[in-house]
Structure 1
Amino acid sequence: MSCQLAHVDPRPSRGQHGNVQPFSDEDVSIETLSHCSSFSDTASVADEGGEASEDTAQEDFQYKLKGFIDSTVDKSAKTRQGALDGLKTAMATRILYEFISERRMTITDSIERCLKKGKGEEQRAAASLACLLCIQLGSGIESEEVLKTLKPIFKYILADGSASIQARQAVSTRFILRWSLQIPWKNDVHATMECFENLFTRAYARMDGTCPSISPQTSQLYTNALLSWALLLTICTASQLKDILRKYLPKLPKLLESEDVNMRIAAGETIALLFELARDMDTDFEFDDWDELCNKLNALATDCNKHRAKTDKRKQRSVFRDVLKAVEEGDFQSETIRFGTERMTIDSWVKKRTYDAFREFVGSGMNYHLQANEFIRDVFELGPPVLVDSATMKAMKISRFERHLHNSAAFKARTKARSKFRDKRVDVGEF
C-alpha cells in the first residue's frame, strides 16, 4: 500500500557548526498530518503529481532519517542529541516499521552508546527513543531483543544516585515499557517493582506528619517511579495484589502530605487504582483506615490553603473529587478519546493508567498511533486500523471560515443573553 509523505529537504539541515538539527515545528505538524499506509489520501497524492511525487517525498524523508542515524555517533554531544530528538519526533508522528526493522540493530547500538557515554539530556533523549523504537516494532521478538540489550543499562541508571536526574527521570518511565508491550517477562515484575519502591517510598511523610526535604527534580523522579509502579499493578497476579494491598495501601496515604502537587495527584490516582483492583478481586473489600483516608481525600478535594498556587489547587481538586468517588462509591468518571472517525472510552482506572503511560511515550502523536499503530490498537482492543477514504475525511472537516462563523454566532448569542441578564439585574436593583 502507498504512503503519502510530505516533501522534506533531501539533505539533513545543519547549523553553523555542521550539527544535524531535529525536525522543526513545521516539520512536526506536517509529519503529524501525513497518514501512512492505508491512511494515505489518494486524492492529494494525485494533486501532488501522483506516484512519482510520492516516491520522491518518501526517498527524501528516509534520506533525512538516515542522516539522523549516522549523526547519533558524532563526536559532538549536541549533534548526537539533535539526531536522537529528530528520530524520536519521526517515530512519534509516523509509522516506520519497515524502515526501522531493517536498521534495528544499528539504532539499538546507538541508543546503548548514548545511554552509557552521554550525559543528562542526551541520556533522556536516548531513553525516549528506545521506548518509541519498541512501540514501532510491536510486541514481537524484535522488541524483546532491544529491551534485553537495554535493560541492564536502564536498571543501573535508575539505581545510580550519581547519575543525572534527567536520565533517571526518563528511565523511570521507560523501564516498564516491556510490560506495556506485553512481553512475557512477568517473573521479573516483582524485582522491578522493588526498584521503584526504593525510590518513591523516600517521599513518605514522617511519623510526625512532616515531609522530607526534596528538590523539585528529585520529587519528579519519585513521582515517575510511583506512576510506573502503578502501571505494573495492572498486570500483577491476585496473590501479588493481596500482598501489595496489605503492605502498601496503609502507607501510600503518607504521600498525600507531599508539598509537590504532582506527587499528591499520583498518590491519589494510585490509591484509586488499588481500590479498583481490590474490588475486582473481592466486591466486599474493606480497608481498616477507610474513614481516615476519605477525610484526607475530601480535604484535598476541597483544598483552600492560601500558600498553594491557584492552578495547583484547581488541578488537585478536580482529580481528588474523582479519587474520592472511586474510594467511597467505586465510581469512575469516564472520558471519551476521539481520533479520526473513531472513539475510545476510558472507563476504568486501569485503562486510564495504561493510556496515560502510552501518551507519555508518544506525546502529541498519541491520536495518530491510536489510528494507525496495530500494536497500540491491540492493547486497547480497538481492532485493525479503520480504512477511511478521502471523501469521508473531507466531509468530516470543517473549514476555517465555517468555524469562524460558528464561533462568531455563539459569541453574539452569549453576549446578547448576558446583556438581558444584566438588564434584569439592574431593574431589580432599582425596584
Structure 2
Amino acid sequence: MPRTKKKNSKGGQHGNVQPFSDEDASLETLSHCSSFSDGISVADEGGDASEDAAQEDFQYKLKGFIDSTVDKSAKTRQGALDGLKTAMATRILYEFISERRMTITDSIERCLKKGKGEEQRAAASLACLLCIQLGSGIESEEVFKTLKPIFKNILADGSANIQARQAVATSLGLCTLVAEDDILDVHSTMECFENLFTRSYARADGTCPSISPQTSQLHTNALLSWALLLTICTSNQLKDILRKHLPKLQRLLESEDVNMRIAAGETIALLFELARDMDPEFEFDDWDELCDRLNALATDCVKHRAKTDKRKQRSVFRDVLKAVEEGDFQSETIRFGTERMNIDSWVRKRTYDAFREFVGSGMNYHLQANEFIRDVFELGPPMLVDSATMKAMKISRFERHLHNSAAFKARTKARNKFRDKRVDVGEF
C-alpha cells in the first residue's frame, strides 16, 4: 500500500506504540537504517534501493513516535518516549533530529511538567540522549537552556515523584557536561547536587541519618553526577572542592546503602587522582584514617550484609584503596569494531560509565560513529565503514552455524580416534 494511504499518527492512531526490539537494534539493522552521515549509500545499485526504503520506513516510524509524545494516553506517550530513546541510543540520527530539535524539546518539556513517574523518567533520559546526538554546540545548548530550569525545579522539589527526581539527577549531570557553556553555571549545578548527597553524611557521632532506599538512590545519583562534573572543573574550583568536601566525603562510607558506599569510594579515588594531577606531592591530613576505612570495606565481613553486596563492595574498594595509597588504576580495554580504547583513569571511567548509562548496548556503536563521544575520548574522526565492509566483517548466522557444525564433527571424530587408540593399548 502506498505510504500516503497510511493513517495519520495524530489523534491516538499510535495507541499501541512499541519501542524498538532487540532485532531492530542489531548491528545488521544499524548498518541499513543508519550510517555515520545518515545517508551513505552502498556501492551496488540494488543496495541503494533497499537502503533508501529501510531509511524511509525507519524515519516514518520515528515521526510516528514524535507525534505520539503529545497523545492523550499516558501509556502511548510513554511508549513513544521509549521508542525515541532506543532509536537515539542505537543509531546516529543527527540530521533527522536537528531538523526536529525544537519539536522534540517541546515534547520533553511537556512530559516533564505534566507527566508522572515513569513518563518523567523517560523524558529526562530522552533529553540526555538528544544532547548526546546533537553534541557540544549551540543546538544542544539551546535544548539545555529550555530544560535546565525544569530539571532543577524537579530535583529540588521534595514533593515531586522520587523516580522522576532520580532520573533528573542523572540526566542533569550529563546534559551539563555536554551542553553547558558557562563554567560558573557548572559550579551552580554542582551545588544543587551537593544539597542532596550531603544529607546522607553520617553524623559526627558515627550514626547514619534515617533515609529510605529510594531517597538513598536519589542521593547516590546526585553524587555520581557531581563526580562527573568534577572532571571538567577548573584548577581553582578543584582546590576549593578538595578543601571543603574531601574530609567530609568519608562520612558517606558509613552509609547502609552499598551503592552509596561504592559511589563515595569511587568519588574519593577520582578526587585523589585529580589532586595528584594538579600536584604530584598532594597530601591529605586524614590519609591514615581514610586508608583504614577503605581497607575495612575492602575486607568487609559484616554478617548482616548480603554476600553479593559484600563481594561487589570488596572488589571496588580494593581498587579504591590502591588509588589512594599508590595512585594506581586497574586499566580496562574496550573493543569496538576494528578499534580499541583504554579506560586507564578514574576520570575516563566516570565519563565512560555516565555515557553508557544512557546508550547502553549502543555504546560501542557510538564510540565508532558519534563524533562528539569520539572527541570526548580523543579517538579522532569516525572511521567510516560502508555496508559492504560491515557485511564482510560480520559472519552470517548460517555461515557461523555451518562453521560450528563442521568444527564439532571434526572434534568428535578426533576424540573417537583417540578413544579407539586407548582401547587398543589397554587390550594389548
Q: Smaller-chain TM-score range?
A: 0.7 to 0.9
> Structure 1 residue 276: deviation in Å?
0.6
Equivalent-residue separation in structure 1 for 2:293 and 2:416 (angstroms): 43
Structure number with greater CO (CA < 8 Å, separation at least 6) is 2
Among 332, 336, 339, the residue aligned to 2:333: 336
* Contact 2:331 2:343 survives alignment (8 Å): yes
* Contact 2:12 2:72 survives alignment (8 Å): no
TM-score normalised to structure 2 length = 0.83
Residue range with higher mean Cα deviation, 242-251 or 387-396: 387-396
2:349 corresponding residue in structure 1: 352
1:198-229 deviation line (CA, Å, top 9, x unaligned): 10011111222221222211111100000111
Q: How many correspondences in the alignment?
A: 405
Aligned positions of 1:28-47 closer than 5 A: 28-29=25-26, 33-34=30-31
* Contact 2:42 2:388 survives alignment (8 Å): no
1:275-316 deviation line (CA, Å, top 9, x unaligned): 011111111111111111001111111112222222211111
Residue range with higher mean Cα deviation, 28-37 or 351-360: 28-37
- Cα-Cα RMSD: 4.7
1:351-408 deviation line (CA, Å, top 9, x unaligned): 1111111111212211110000011101111011113356765665467699889999
Mark the CA change 1:47 to 1:254 in structure 2 (over 3 Å): closer, same or farther: same
Mark the CA change 1:14 to 1:308 in structure 2 (over 3 Å): closer, same or farther: farther
State the SS of the aligned residue for 1:403: helix
Mark the CA change 1:424 to 1:169 in structure 2 (over 3 Å): closer, same or farther: farther
Mark the CA change 1:303 to 1:422 in structure 2 (over 3 Å): closer, same or farther: farther
Mark the CA change 1:324 to 1:56 in structure 2 (over 3 Å): closer, same or farther: same
Mark the CA change 1:336 to 1:430 in structure 2 (over 3 Å): closer, same or farther: farther
State the SS of the aligned residue for 1:28: coil
1:63 counterpart = 2:56: no
Aligned positions of 1:3-152 closer than 5 A: 18-29=15-26, 33-34=30-31, 49-152=46-149
1:258 corresponding residue in structure 2: 255
* Contact 2:41 2:48 survives alignment (8 Å): no
Mark the CA change 1:14 to 1:262 in structure 2 (over 3 Å): closer, same or farther: farther
Structure 1: state its 5+ residue gaps: 1-12, 174-187
* Contact 1:42 1:390 survives alignment (8 Å): no
> Structure 1 residue 18: deviation in Å?
3.0
Equivalent-residue separation in structure 2 for 1:409 and 1:77 (angstroms): 52
Equivalent-residue separation in structure 2 for 1:411 and 1:284 (angstroms): 59
State the SS of the aligned residue for 2:191: helix
Mark the CA change 1:14 to 1:52 in structure 2 (over 3 Å): closer, same or farther: farther
Equivalent-residue separation in structure 1 for 2:320 and 2:192 (angstroms): 26
> Structure 1 residue 267: deviation in Å?
0.3
Mark the CA change 1:342 to 1:65 in structure 2 (over 3 Å): closer, same or farther: same
* Contact 1:14 1:20 survives alignment (8 Å): no
* Contact 1:36 1:95 survives alignment (8 Å): no
1:381 corresponding residue in structure 2: 378
Equivalent-residue separation in structure 2 for 1:420 and 1:270 (angstroms): 58
Mark the CA change 1:36 to 1:337 in structure 2 (over 3 Å): closer, same or farther: farther
Mark the CA change 1:138 to 1:47 in structure 2 (over 3 Å): closer, same or farther: same
Equivalent-residue separation in structure 1 for 2:347 and 2:112 (angstroms): 31
Mark the CA change 1:401 to 1:111 in structure 2 (over 3 Å): closer, same or farther: closer
Q: Percent identity?
A: 93
Equivalent-residue separation in structure 2 for 1:266 and 1:155 (angstroms): 22
Mark the CA change 1:429 to 1:87 in structure 2 (over 3 Å): closer, same or farther: same
Structure 2: state its 5+ residue gaps: 1-9, 171-184
Residue range with higher mean Cα deviation, 421-430 or 287-296: 421-430
Residue range with higher mean Cα deviation, 43-52 or 220-229: 43-52
Residue range with higher mean Cα deviation, 301-310 or 227-236: 301-310
1:244-291 deviation line (CA, Å, top 9, x unaligned): 111111110111111111111100000001101111111111111111
Equivalent-residue separation in structure 2 for 1:263 and 1:426 (angstroms): 61
> Structure 1 residue 124: deviation in Å?
0.6
Equivalent-residue separation in structure 2 for 1:420 and 1:314 (angstroms): 45
1:33-70 deviation line (CA, Å, top 9, x unaligned): 43666569999968994212211111111111111111
TM-score normalised to structure 1 length = 0.83
2:177 corresponding residue in structure 1: none
* Contact 1:31 1:94 survives alignment (8 Å): no
